[in-house]
Amino acid sequence: MTLRAIILGAAAGGGLPQWNCGCENCNLARRGEIPAQTQSSLAVSPDGQNWAILNASPDIRIQLGNTPLLFPTGLREMPVQSVLVTNGDIDHVAGLLTLREMQPFTLFATNSIHDVIAENPIFDALNASVVKRRPILLNEPFELVTNLTATLFPVPGKVPLYLEGEHVQTDLVGEQTVGVALHTQGKSAYYIPGCAALTPELRAQLDGADLLFFDGTLWQDDEMVRTGLGQKTGKRMGHMSMDGPEGSIAGFADMQIGRKVFVHMNNTNPVLRPNSAENAQACAKGWTIGRDGMEITL
C-alpha cells in the first residue's frame, strides 16, 4: 500500500488569480505567464482507488474535473469515500455545497467544526440520510478511507473570519483548527494548511515525518500591507509566514522531515512565480512549492 496525495488546489482562499485582485501575481496568472492555482485542497488515497478529500474548496468542481483518478467509476459511483475539513473557513467548506446531488460520503471534522457547519442551514443541502457527518475527537485515530488511518491534532489558529468577534485570539489551540496525520506502512504524512505558530508540541510531533504539507500563505508577515492590498498581517490571519527568523523555513530547518511541501499559498506570495528569488530560496532550503495537480507518493 502506497500513500498517494494529489494537490487539488495549492492556493489559499481567493485562489490565483483572485477575482478582484490586480496584484502582480494575479495579473501574471491572468495572462498565463505563471500557472494559475485553485483553492486549498488535497486528495489522499492508500491504493489509488479509494480517496479522501481534505478540505472542500469552492473550486472543487473544477478540481474533480481535472483529476481523472477522481472521476465517477459508474453511473453514481465515486472513488471519493470521504471529505474531511480542517477548519470552518470558506475556502475549506464552501465546496461542500457542490457535493450535494444525493451522493453518499462521510464528512469528517471535529465537533466544533461540525457545529459551525450545522449552524448554517445551507449545508443541509447535504442530506443527512446520505452524507454521514462524523465527529472526530482530537488525537483519536479513525479510518479516513478503507485502509488509511488518520488522526486530527490541534494546531494554533483562530475561528473562521466570518465568525470573528471584536477581539480575536489568533493562536487558539483546540478543535477549531486542526492538522491531519496519516499513517501507512510505518510511514507518516502530515497535512497542515493553516498554522499560526510552530509550537514545541508541534515540532515534537512533526520531527521525523516522511512527508509534510504545510501552510505557505505568505512569504512575509506584512506582505499584504506592503503591497497595498489590506491592513492584515499573516499573524492576524492566523498564519505563520515562510521567511524570517520566526518563519516556517527557519522553524523547520533543523528538523528531520523527508519531504516538505508548501500549500495554501496566498496570491500575493512571490514563491508562486516560478522564477522568483523567493521561490529559489525556499527550494534551496529543501521545500517544494506545491501546485495544482502535483502528485506525491510515499
Cell of 13: 482562499
Please give the sequence-ordered ranges of beta strands (E in DSSP) within 127-233, or none if there are none. Answer: 131-135, 142-145, 148-154, 178-184, 187-192, 211-215
CA pair distance 29, 33, nearest whole angstrom: 6
Residue from 42, 50, 89, 160 in contact with Mn ion (CB under 5 A): 89
Judged by beta carbon, residue 114 or residue 239, the one nearer Zn ion is 239
Shortest Cβ distance from residue 194 to Mn ion (Å)? 6
- Interaction of residue 234 with Mn ion, rule CB under 5 A: no
- Interaction of residue 267 with Zn ion, rule CB under 5 A: yes
Is the separation of the CB atoms in 90 and 162 below 8 Å? Answer: yes
- Interaction of residue 179 with ligand MLT, rule CB under 6 A: no
Residue from 89, 210, 221, 223 in contact with ligand MLT (CB under 6 A): 89
Judged by beta carbon, residue 25 or residue 151, the one nearer Zn ion is 25
CA pair distance 12, 45, nearest whole angstrom: 22
Judged by beta carbon, residue 78 or residue 229, the one nearer ligand MLT is 229
Residues 9-38, interacting with Mn ion (CB under 5 A): 12-13
- Interaction of residue 195 with ligand MLT, rule CB under 6 A: no
Judged by beta carbon, residue 22 or residue 104, the one nearer ligand MLT is 22
For residue 170, the tally of other CB atoms under 10 A from its CB is 18
Residue from 46, 63, 91, 240 in contact with ligand MLT (CB under 6 A): 91
Bridge-based pairing of strands 211-215 and 259-263 is: parallel
- Interaction of residue 26 with Zn ion, rule CB under 5 A: yes
Residue 105: in which H helix or E strand, if any?
strand 105-109
Judged by beta carbon, residue 220 or residue 266, the one nearer Mn ion is 266
Span interacting with Zn ion, options 20-28, 83-91, 173-181, 215-223, rule CB under 5 A: 20-28
Task: Give 26-64 as a 3 state SS string.
Answer: HHHHHCCCCCCECECEEEEECCCCCEEEECCCCCHHHHH
Shortest Cβ distance from residue 168 to Zn ion (Å)? 24
Judged by beta carbon, residue 19 or residue 186, the one nearer Zn ion is 19
Residue from 7, 8, 10, 13 in contact with ligand MLT (CB under 6 A): 13
- Interaction of residue 36 with Zn ion, rule CB under 5 A: no
Is the separation of the CB atoms in 237 and 171 below 8 Å? Answer: no
- Interaction of residue 90 with ligand MLT, rule CB under 6 A: yes
Greatest extent of the chain over all pairs of C-alpha atoms, in Å: 53
Task: Give burial (CB, 10 Å; 0-12/13-18/19+) of 255.
Answer: middle
Between the CA of residue 87 and those of 60, 115, 175, what are the distances in Å?
16, 11, 8
- Which of Mn ion, Zn ion, ligand MLT, none does residue 210 bind (CB under 5 to 8 Å by kind)? none
> Where along the sequence are the contacts to Zn ion (CB under 5 A)?
21, 23, 26, 267
> Where along the sequence are the contacts to ligand MLT (CB under 6 A)?
12-13, 89-91, 161, 194, 237-238
> Where along the sequence are the contacts to Mn ion (CB under 5 A)?
12-13, 89, 91
